[in-house]
Structure 1
């Protein structure tokens, strides 16, 4: 949560919070990719495409991977390129303080964390480990009870989808983004670090999840995205 630099184009009275999350790429079906690389198609491969067109576009779901055609593809059947993203780290950082924490907060308006604004699960203090409801249930199955209660009760539990819903995955002109974040999670993170009246700086806008989350939370936002193909995705979010 750095205080802004005047040479960065913001006056010192502006309050800026910076936060970045990274996504994990989807696994590639290595066997199918080898068949495609060798110029052959699987006639029994079944891919379902949704009927929803327009800005949000259509989604594709592989119902049947099909039978490998080439010998190389058969050899690598069942292999992929990524594990299921069950753990995704999020880094919250700040620049070195300008003096003490209290002095930095009073002078620049940044440096603290909005605890009361981000409480959840029965008004509990936010922790640095967060589960969605499904992961909390899985934890209870594995661990049983502890001190006459489920272990998940000891952790705050987010009530958001662990993956963005189709409505949170914008698509425009055949372009989509591979690592879309859950909107509820980004809104919680933005609220956690951004002071009242502050500005959220998103240097890697992607599909615009942070932009939408910041706007929905009532913050100003400056977003940067070098890939112009993603700009219609961001516009579609804000037009909704």
Structure 2
């Protein structure tokens, strides 16, 4: 397990205490600046401030990577701020999930409200009522992370002619993708190789983030390599037959698209799971495997650009399109909370009990899947490296870093979230967690350097 530190306070002030060129990677989920669910911390402007990212740049080692999440219509402003701070934008990683909730205006209902017309009740929307945890449709009550009360699942009909005309119209799509900017601090040396040898940073860990084959019997190594020679074809003289590009037994090359299973996916994917939706659209695909000596002309579609016979066994497998991408699993065991009534951290298995007793339970609303965060920190952190998360939230990045054997530092301004993060990291380290109290104010100087 890696060493870890968690500090409660303003990350802008905390960054000033860190030495220059001291951090190996930053993996963070900053505020989206959308005033998300009325949270004060989501409208500070910090994610769009180049001055903040300039300070992040300062503490990173030359060539070190930043992974920062954005969403929908606002992520570009964060990316511009990151670039303006001096980072090189290397790529974007698109994380597709199925748990987003649209912030939508029902135009028909809004028209009736404007006209002061009362809509007739024609039924109860049991489908959506049952999909929300701890909702009691008969009582129209929901007691969840943001303590919404009196949630109304009545189905109503338009009361005016104009409302009927615009029935079914709204203003928003369901959010189902996060966009993580992958940026790098400029190299201090002449090349990536020299920078890695000097600082340990500048590259990403491809092999530790490969997409593992789902069925070891479905792939076959030995794909041949294209060799460029002067000639009239697309691949010039085509394929040499030299098997120097054999498929890796460790898995596929990681892509800039990742998927998250729905929370209820256990033995199979539930409806609405992005993995299931993608595989359903692609169907079962079969690709590519040919035994050495197969005559290509008998297969159709080949011409003189490739040799008549395959020289080696070539790669092939089958399955849905999701097999090409990293698919993170989500578990309810990752959801920890803070009970304001009991003034303590609530373990995942205790959440339902506290909610049923109508306690005011706080659960972080944008918590990331732990498997996904482990994949992210593996991708950008060198061996034994130090990971920084300036917006620690409920601690997913810190837990991921600890489990992957990295050192890590987290900063969180909200005392309730900080307490949840502290309890989760301690549990990941094997410590017993019972009734953690609020993390106090103040920052101590680090001992890592």
**1:93 match: secondary structure:** strand
Please point out which of 325, 328, 331 is paired with 1:165: 331
**1:91 match: secondary structure:** strand
User: Is 1:195 the counterpart of 2:203 in the alignment?
Assistant: no
User: In the TM superposition, what is the alpha-carbon distance from 1:194 to its structure 2 partner?
Assistant: 0.5
User: Is 1:17 the counterpart of 2:25 in the alignment?
Assistant: yes
Q: How does 1:87-236 map to 2 (within 5 A)?
A: 87-99=177-189, 100-122=191-213, 123-124=250-251, 125-132=253-260, 134-144=273-283, 145=285, 147=287, 150=318, 152=320, 155-161=323-329, 164-172=330-338, 173=340, 174-236=361-423
User: In the TM superposition, what is the alpha-carbon distance from 1:67 to its structure 2 partner?
Assistant: 4.0
Decide whether the 8 Å contact of 2:104 with 2:172 is kept in 1.
no
The whole-number CA distance in structure 2 between the counterparts of 1:71 and 1:233 is: 47
Range that drifts further, 186-195 or 63-72: 63-72
Give RMSD over aligned pairs.
4.2
Are the structure 2 counterparts of residues 190 and 77 from structure 1 closer, same or farther at C-alpha, using a change threshold of 3 Å? farther
User: In the TM superposition, what is the alpha-carbon distance from 1:15 to its structure 2 partner?
Assistant: 4.5
Q: What TM-score results when the alignment is normalised by the length of structure 2?
A: 0.41
Are the structure 2 counterparts of residues 154 and 87 from structure 1 closer, same or farther at C-alpha, using a change threshold of 3 Å? closer
Render the CA deviation track for 1:134-177: whole Å, top value 9, x for unaligned: 5344333323436476574585343423xx43322221023222
User: Is 1:27 the counterpart of 2:102 in the alignment?
Assistant: yes
Q: How does 1:4-83 map to 2 (within 5 A)?
A: 9-10=18-19, 12=21, 14-18=22-26, 19-22=67-70, 26-28=101-103, 30=105, 50=134, 65-67=153-155, 82-83=172-173
Are the structure 2 counterparts of residues 97 and 155 from structure 1 closer, same or farther at C-alpha, using a change threshold of 3 Å? farther
Structure 1 unaligned segments of length 5 or more: list them: 1-5, 52-56
The whole-number CA distance in structure 1 between the counterparts of 2:153 and 2:181 is: 36
**1:179 match: secondary structure:** coil
Decide whether the 8 Å contact of 1:121 with 1:156 is kept in 2.
no
The whole-number CA distance in structure 2 between the counterparts of 1:109 and 1:225 is: 28
**1:207 match: secondary structure:** coil
Matched with 1:3 is none
Render the CA deviation track for 1:90-116: whole Å, top value 9, x for unaligned: 211101111211121111111111112
User: In the TM superposition, what is the alpha-carbon distance from 1:198 to its structure 2 partner?
Assistant: 0.7
Render the CA deviation track for 1:183-236: whole Å, top value 9, x for unaligned: 100011001111111111111112211111111111111112233342122123
Q: Point out the structure with the larger strand share.
A: 2
Are the structure 2 counterparts of residues 178 and 77 from structure 1 closer, same or farther at C-alpha, using a change threshold of 3 Å? farther
